[in-house]
Amino acid sequence: MIKKGMYKHRFATKVVAIILVCSLIPTFFTSVFYYISSSNIVKENVRDSSLQISQQAADSLSYILATGSDMSDLVYSNERIQEVVVEDVDENLPFVTRQENNEYLSSFLNSNVYSSSFVKAIYILKQDGRSWGSGTFSEYKFSQYELSDLYWPEEATELDGEIVWTNLQLDLFRGAGENTEYVLPISRVMKDFTDLSTIAYVQVLLDGDAIIDKINEIKLGETGRFFVVDSEGKVMIDSKTDRIGSLIRNQELRLAALNTYETEFEFELEGTAYYGVKQTVANGWTVVGTVPIEEITGELLSIQYIVILSSLFFSIIAIMIGLFVARKVTEPVKTLTYQMKRVGKGDLNARTSVQTSDEIGEMSMEFNRMIEQIDQLVVQVKTEQVQKKEAELRAIKHRINPHFLFNTLSTIKWLLTFKQFDRANVALTSLNRLLEANMGKKGTFVTIAEEIDIVEKFIDIMKIRYEQEFHLILDLEESVKAFHVPQMLLQPIVENAIFHGIVPKGVEGTVLITGRSIEKGIRLTVQDDGMGMSEESLNAINHAVQTKSKSLGIGLLHVVDSIDLYFAPESTVMINSDAKGTTLSITLIQKNGEGNHV
């Protein structure tokens, strides 16, 4: 009886009951069997048509490539062009002759380009001396490249006059601006027939857009497409230009495309079955066409629908019963799923109220228990992180204070040594006031007004230490003065402004502190009229601020870490600098639910 009760309440038992009640298994297998049997018949009917279409694509592409190959042969074998190229390196060549040679070459190249609907441009390229090209060929663009850095000249040299076929690409040497037109380069070396030495490179550029349009005109089904690969499976021509130059991504398709014995094949891509055909092009490339099998066997769908509808008609009563039972089963699952999604979005207050006696009810209780534990762990981790960060900030402050104290006491020592007792007394008084304010028992935070008071005492000491006049100008809104910030937020910034900006100039300087209220926070700006910094140094320090690099130095690192710990993520630190000085802007955005203090 106990086992019988357990089986009655098992979730798996309920699911099996629904499946059996619905009685959809016979319908499924009948449809699949009929579909597979009929698809073989339909495939046989479309096979001849697909092969004919692929052969048409291969013939069309072969004609275009042959046009480019013939044009390359025409330029390569023209002895007059060879003479012009050879004579160009002769420094003693008369100007008139050189001008006539250039006009001849330009006329020859342009006339041949205009005579062919698929040839986009013809170039004769040399690393040294002049290069020639049809149309809007840009010698300036060509001069930006070293032939040795391009991938095709080395292969062209190795083939010693034979053609190098390369994939569809943007023309590098044409026009004044950025070129967006695709071409298919046919490259080879140019020989001097008198001694068979290499004198230049010939490039015939076929119109890539026309080639793509030509291939796109040939349809394989509704969504099928053609592309071209070389003997290694690298995509040479494709309307999806981001795939050009890379290997076929699908391993099954790549192996089929490289198989020299079969012209038809099937493969799977992202869960969809595809039918493919291929044909070889005159230059050894392969035209590959692919189309979803479902698309070419679409005639079966109407028959399949009839079978399914007939089966569903006799199963309608079972389905209605199944829906009723399924609702009883799935309602608890939906409730549990909804609460899980809430947790997934960060709401750890989510709890389920499912109290069934099956596995779902047990899962619900375990889920509530797990979320309770996670909530406790999150609070613990956050607390530990804040404590760790505060400890790090305290450590930085303890490093900043002794460093500044040492420098100040050293200054006072020398003042006493040189019997400048009045200045030493002023320095000691300022230091005493500064330490009293900076190390008081006010906790981690002070108001902007209190922080400014510390800065003023600090500047008094800096005046004595560097024997320079430093002016502090304040432009603070009243609401800004009451805003709470971590201690020593402004002092390290002012110290950097004086030490790195004003002191190196050797003259008196000014530090301007501006404070403005913004939505949910304030914006502080510290500006000096010091010597500024180079663009390279500015970029480096801004990058260090964004990445919180240890290279910032303990003062600025303390500022960045304090903002990161106590203020919202939208808070920022930005530095700008030019010859007139440096400006550091701090945007402090309060965290949710906090007032004018953190």
Q: Residues 345, 347, 350, CA angle at the centre, nearest 5°?
A: 120
Contact 552, 541 (CB under 8 A): yes
Residue burial 212-231, b: 16+ Cβ < 10 Å; e: rest: bebbeebebbeebbbbbbbe
Beta bridge partners of 453: none
- With 0-12 CB in 10 A as exposed, 13-18 as middle and 19+ as buried, what is 458? buried
Question: Tokens 């291969």 label which residue?
Answer: 58
Give the CA radius of gyration of the chain: 40
Cα distances from 477 to residues 275, 277, 348, in angstroms, run: 73, 75, 41
pLDDT at 570: 92
Task: Write out the H or E segment, with its range, that includes residue 263.
Answer: none
pLDDT at 225: 86
CA atoms within 13 A on the CB side of 300: 19
pLDDT at 494: 93
Residues 452, 454: Cα–Cα separation, whole Å? 5
Report the pLDDT averaged over residues 185-193.
90
100 three-class SS: helix
pLDDT higher than 60, residue 202: yes
Two tokens, residue 428: 């000691």
Report the pLDDT averaged over residues 539-563.
84
Residues 483, 515: Cα–Cα separation, whole Å? 10
pLDDT at 521: 94
For the chain, the structural domain boundaries read 77-211, 381-589
Report the pLDDT averaged over residues 532-553.
86
Question: Is the CATH code 3.30.565.10 the one for domain 381-589?
Answer: yes
pLDDT higher than 60, residue 394: no
Strand 572-578 and strand 509-518: the pairing is unpaired
pLDDT at 348: 63
Angle (deg, nearest 10), helices 359-417 and 448-466: 30
Residues recorded for the chain: 598
Cα distances from 319 to residues 18, 316, 339, 473, in angstroms, run: 9, 5, 29, 82
Contact 513, 461 (CB under 8 A): no
Two tokens, residue 594: 């906090």
Report the pLDDT averaged over residues 340-350.
70
Q: Residues 362, 363, 364, CA angle at the centre, nearest 5°?
A: 90
Query: What percentage of the chain reaches a pLDDT higher than 70?
Result: 75
pLDDT at 404: 67
CA 39 from centroid of its chain's CA atoms: 43
Task: Write out the H or E segment, with its range, that includes residue 319.
Answer: helix 299-344
Question: pLDDT-based confidence at 189, cuts 50/70/90?
Answer: very high
pLDDT at 12: 47
Question: pLDDT-based confidence at 366, cuts 50/70/90?
Answer: confident
Question: pLDDT-based confidence at 298, cuts 50/70/90?
Answer: low
The CATH T-level fold of domain 77-211 is Beta-Lactamase (3.30.450)
What region, left, alpha or beta, does residue 593 occupy, with left being phi > 0 and alpha being psi -120 to 50 degrees? left
Question: pLDDT-based confidence at 370, cuts 50/70/90?
Answer: confident
pLDDT higher than 70, residue 285: yes
pLDDT at 214: 85
pLDDT at 283: 87
- Cβ within 8 Å of residue 204, ≥6 positions away: 68, 71, 72, 75, 119, 121, 122, 185, 186, 187
Cα distances from 17 to residues 145, 268, 277, 308, 382, in angstroms, run: 73, 35, 46, 22, 48
DSSP letter, residue 482: T
Report the pLDDT averaged over residues 159-178.
86
> How many angstroms separate the first and last alpha carbons of the chain?
64
Residue type, 568: A
Higher pLDDT, 116 or 583: 583
pLDDT higher than 60, residue 419: yes
Residues 149, 526: Cα–Cα separation, whole Å? 49
Contact 120, 183 (CB under 8 A): yes
Report the pLDDT averaged over residues 452-467.
86
66-125 per-position pLDDT tens digit: 888 998 999 988 888 888 888 888 888 888 888 888 889 889 989 998 988 889 899 999
pLDDT higher than 60, residue 597: no
119 three-class SS: strand
7-58 per-position pLDDT tens digit: 455 544 555 566 555 666 666 666 666 656 665 665 566 677 777 788 888 8
- With 0-12 CB in 10 A as exposed, 13-18 as middle and 19+ as buried, what is 250? middle
306-315 per-position pLDDT tens digit: 667 766 776 6
Q: Rounded to 5, what percent of the chain is helix, strand, coil?
A: 55, 20, 25
Mean of all residue pLDDT scores within the chain: 80
DSSP letter, residue 137: B
Report the pLDDT averaged over residues 456-475.
87
Contact 361, 389 (CB under 8 A): no
pLDDT at 136: 86
565 three-class SS: helix
Question: pLDDT-based confidence at 378, cuts 50/70/90?
Answer: confident
pLDDT at 398: 46
207-260 per-position pLDDT tens digit: 888 888 888 888 887 888 889 999 888 998 988 888 888 998 888 888 888 887
Report the sign of the C-alpha dihedral through residues 498, 499, 505, 507, in that order.
Answer: positive
Question: Tokens 């493919």 label which residue?
Answer: 276
- Cβ within 8 Å of residue 379, ≥6 positions away: none
Contact 438, 490 (CB under 8 A): no
Give the residue ranges of DSSP H helices in 10-24: 11-22
- Cβ within 8 Å of residue 444, ≥6 positions away: 390, 486, 487
pLDDT higher than 80, residue 340: no
281 three-class SS: coil
Q: Where are the beta strands (DSSP E) in 222-366?
A: 225-229, 235-237, 264-269, 272-280, 286-292
507-535 per-position pLDDT tens digit: 899 999 999 999 999 999 999 999 988 98
